[in-house]
Amino acid sequence: MIETARVKPEKIRCDACPVMCFIAEGKAGACDRYANHAGELVRLDPLTVIERGAPAVAFLDQGENAQDWDGDILQGKRTFVTAVGAGTTYPDYKPAPFIVSQEVDGADMVTVVTEGIYSYCGVKVKIDTDRFIGHERAVVRVKGEAIGHVMTSEYGSKMLSLGGVEHLTGSTKAEGRVTCDALMNLCNREAVTLQVDDGAEVVVQAGHAPIINDVREKLMRVGCGSAAIGMFAKQWEPHVDEVIVVDDHITGVLTEHEAGKQLDMRPSGIKIQGRRSTPGRYFQVAEPGTGWGGTDVEDPLTILKPADAKKAWAGLRLLMVSTTGEQWAYYELDEDLVPQPAEISETLRISADRIAENCEPSLCSVLFMGGAGGSLRAGVTENPVRLTRSVKDALTYVSCGGAEAYVWPGGGITVMVDVMEMPTNSFGYVPTPALVAPIEFTMRREDYDALGGHMEHIKDVSSVLTSEVRKVEPVATQPDPHQAQRNKREGRG
């Protein structure tokens, strides 16, 4: 064993109030409002509110983020206080930092606002691409540390599961730190470079196209090769004798495919590699890769077998195209029935373009997933299980930074939310390591009382709207949590 000198981290002195606390790294001062973050005194993030009814200005009255603000204090506009910047209380039995009430359309509503500390949390990433990024179950790494793994392939997308308690706290300190950092950055919509074991390097950023091995993905495929045949057969039929849509999943061959048969197309005799599934549909025509249609194909001719001399004919027009239409090649068979590159007709080229036209832009989606089923609930009520029941009974609406959270069935309160619907920089971390994420519980005042809520800690919404509050506009796709709660409650049962 090598003795290593323990370096005690520096404490800093807070000068926010006369108490002048000495605050150790990762801790907050006596007021819970200022903290030592890596040796720097930080005001715990400003509380964020969503303002409805009129356009609002993004506002953060601090440092480099200082912005113009006309001093307009929410004139009669309805506000939803998010948990972003609310801080948290520790230990958990203390009431949540903000329990705010306001009258909404005649009903007295209470929103319990807290920032949860989640060591049981992670992100699910959906990457719209057909390119091979790694095999299912392959380890995903950042800076060499394992932070998750490749999950299933979905229709046109690859899924990753990152984080989780085993990476955060169940392994080495370095792994925990790197995982926490990566999760926070992904949730805050920043770009993170991931390496997949025996796979690709992928740059993932929520709301942006993935970058796979230095190539930015553009389009999500319109469907598998067989689906593409089905969709475009009629447009191709007058202009071409055979079309092969190259796909790592199912490669389609037009004249052999049901769609071609129904158009009375003459069998072309073009034969391809791979395992035939049903007529005109082939599995495994090549290895997975970052070439055509998610295969390793760079030259499409490599998947062709010699044509059937009994069926094929000289001059046969052959179009080969990928599932996104981004790659295509046009050939005509020579006298020996060997495909030779040829000039594509204008109409046929347009049909290839149409595939691309029908593809949606490729994106990375990042869904935060965490369990609020633990002690966090005690900040909401003195009888935690009642909160769980209230959520399951649809009396309580759960949102994260104002965005609707999907609550998983079963026990506890396990939520999933799209980080793109949340205010920017909604996430933080604590050195545990664990992620800090906002969560709000909205319900009627009488329901809050019934579940044993901290009624004496309820504040009027106007009291939290200080000049330090950061105001954001509602996200167009997200319901007003107050209204959503009401719809849910009334529609239940």
Contact footprint for other proteins (CB under 8 A):
15-22, 24, 29-32, 93-94, 101, 381-383, 452, 456, 459-460, 462-464, 466
Q: Which 8-state DSSP code applies to residue 361?
A: B
Amino acid at 418: D
All residues at 6 or more sequence positions from 13 whose CB lies less than 8 Å from its CB, including other chains: 20, 21, 22, 23
- Among candidate residues 125, 259, 266, the one with its CA nearest the CA of residue 193: 125
Question: 393 exposed, middle or buried (CB, 10 Å; 0-12, 13-18, 19+)?
Answer: middle
Pairing of strands 48-52, 470-472: parallel
Preceding amide of 384 cis, omega within 30: no
- Residue placing its CB nearer to other proteins in the complex, 18 or 55: 18
- Residue placing its CB nearer to other proteins in the complex, 21 or 182: 21
- Residue placing its CB nearer to other proteins in the complex, 14 or 321: 14
Query: For the range 486-492, what are the long-range contacts, defined as Cβ-Cβ under 8 Å and sequence gap of 24 or more?
Result: 486/104, 486/105, 486/107, 488/394, 488/397, 489/394, 489/395, 489/397, 489/443, 489/444, 489/447, 491/394, 492/393, 492/394, 492/395
Question: Token pair of 124, please?
Answer: 């699910």
> With contact defined as beta carbons under 8 Å apart, do 327 and 321 qualify?
yes
Q: How far apart are the C-alpha atoms of 129 and 151, rounded to whole Å?
A: 14
CB of 463 to other proteins, least distance (A): 4
CB of 483 to other proteins, least distance (A): 22
- Residue placing its CB nearer to other proteins in the complex, 94 or 392: 94
- Residue placing its CB nearer to other proteins in the complex, 383 or 477: 383
CB of 89 to other proteins, least distance (A): 10
CB of 220 to other proteins, least distance (A): 49
CB of 21 to other proteins, least distance (A): 7
> With contact defined as beta carbons under 8 Å apart, do 39 and 12 qualify?
yes
- Residue placing its CB nearer to other proteins in the complex, 419 or 458: 458
All residues at 6 or more sequence positions from 422 whose CB lies less than 8 Å from its CB, including other chains: 84, 400, 401, 402, 403, 438
- Residue placing its CB nearer to other proteins in the complex, 93 or 155: 93
Question: 341 exposed, middle or buried (CB, 10 Å; 0-12, 13-18, 19+)?
Answer: exposed
Per-position DSSP letters for 168-202, written without gaps between them: HTSS-HHHHHHHHHHHHHHHTT--EEEEETTS-EE
- How many Cβ atoms sit within 10 Å of the Cβ of residue 29? 20
- Residue placing its CB nearer to other proteins in the complex, 172 or 466: 466
CB of 121 to other proteins, least distance (A): 25
- Residue placing its CB nearer to other proteins in the complex, 126 or 482: 482
- Among candidate residues 388, 406, 373, the one with its CA nearest the CA of residue 478: 406
Q: Which 8-state DSSP code applies to residue 347?
A: H
- Residue placing its CB nearer to other proteins in the complex, 19 or 42: 19
- Residue placing its CB nearer to other proteins in the complex, 15 or 446: 15
> With contact defined as beta carbons under 8 Å apart, do 210 and 128 qualify?
yes
CB of 100 to other proteins, least distance (A): 10
Question: Token pair of 28, please?
Answer: 């907050």
- Residue placing its CB nearer to other proteins in the complex, 222 or 464: 464
CB of 209 to other proteins, least distance (A): 44
CB of 17 to other proteins, least distance (A): 3
CB of 118 to other proteins, least distance (A): 22
φ/ψ of residue 86, rounded to 5: -70, -25
Q: How far apart are the C-alpha atoms of 438 and 84, rounded to whole Å?
A: 5
CB of 481 to other proteins, least distance (A): 20
CB of 453 to other proteins, least distance (A): 8
Q: How far apart are the C-alpha atoms of 342 and 329, rounded to whole Å?
A: 9
- Residue placing its CB nearer to other proteins in the complex, 20 or 309: 20
CB of 191 to other proteins, least distance (A): 36
Amino acid at 287: E
